[in-house]
């Protein structure tokens, strides 16, 4: 970044990116604080909204500024990022933030179902406990809506080969591994941090 992020800036991030954002913080922004929120809250958007309301209020009350590392993940996002001292990364979802909008849209148009490291480890929980699916209806639904699984390998964690194989078999879809650098994610976060500073400076 061209300017040093304020030490009172707090990144509030979905845990789906915990390993990646922590790696970026250690390498590039050691002065920033991060608060990770459980990724499974996405399965219940009302609970996600309540949690983000609480966290953002806590940080603002403490005199901090907040960068939300989220896509448009719940109905409260617009209201939260409209608050003074709060900005959000410019992305519709986490895949958009990691891949960039054009590449995300291209792959989505091809019928890709994306897998990230955290949810790949927990794929059975997602499909069965959270979505209430079993092998038969999961495979039918996934094959109706998607053509293949694509695991976005950020290189931060070991490749979960057994989990990918099991998930692909469960869904009845082929699975590909796509290496993804962290530069797009890094740039998106840094743009938000700098935008926060610009916004604060104009008030």
pLDDT in tens, 108-131: 999 999 999 999 999 998 888 878
pLDDT at 49 over 90: yes
Tokens for 11, please give them: 């990144």
Phi, psi of 133 (to 5 degrees): -100, 155
Nearest-CA neighbor of 65 among 1, 7, 25, 21?
7
Mean pLDDT of all residues belonging to the chain: 91
Q: What is the pLDDT of residue 200?
A: 52
User: Residue-wise over 112-134: b if at least 16 C-beta within 10 A, else e?
Assistant: bbbbbbbbbeebeebbeeeeebe
Domains observed in the chain: 9-94+182-201 (3.40.50), 96-179 (no CATH)
Tokens for 195, please give them: 């935008």
pLDDT (mean) for 56-64? 96
Burial of 33 (0-12, 13-18, 19+ CB in 10 A): middle
Tokens for 28, please give them: 């590039």
112 bridge partner residues:
148
Indicate the range of 48-52, 86-90, 118-122 predicted with least confidence: 118-122
C-alpha span between 118 and 157 (Å, rounded): 10
Q: What is the pLDDT of residue 137?
A: 86
What pTM was computed for the model? Answer: 0.89
């Amino acid at each position: 970044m061209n300017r040093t992020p304020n030490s009172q800036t707090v990144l509030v991030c979905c845990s789906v990116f915990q390993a990646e954002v922590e790696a970026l913080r250690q390498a590039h922004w050691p002065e920033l604080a991060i608060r990770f929120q459980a990724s499974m809250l996405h399965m219940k958007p009302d609970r996600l909204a309540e949690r983000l309301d609480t966290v953002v209020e806590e940080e603002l009350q403490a005199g901090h500024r907040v960068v939300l590392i989220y896509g448009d993940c719940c109905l409260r996002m617009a209201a939260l990022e409209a608050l003074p001292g709060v900005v959000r990364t410019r992305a519709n979802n986490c895949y958009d933030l990691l891949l960039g909008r054009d590449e995300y849209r291209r792959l989505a148009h091809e019928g890709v179902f994306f897998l990230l490291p955290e949810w790949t480890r927990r794929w059975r929980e997602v499909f069965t406990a959270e979505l209430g699916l079993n092998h038969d209806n999961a495979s039918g639904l996934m094959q109706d809506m998607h053509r293949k699984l694509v695991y976005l390998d950020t290189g931060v964690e070991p490749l979960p080969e057994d989990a990918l194989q099991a998930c692909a078999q469960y869904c009845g879809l082929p699975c590909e591994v796509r290496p993804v650098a962290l530069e797009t994610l890094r740039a998106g976060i840094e743009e938000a941090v700098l935008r926060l500073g610009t916004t604060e400076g104009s008030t």
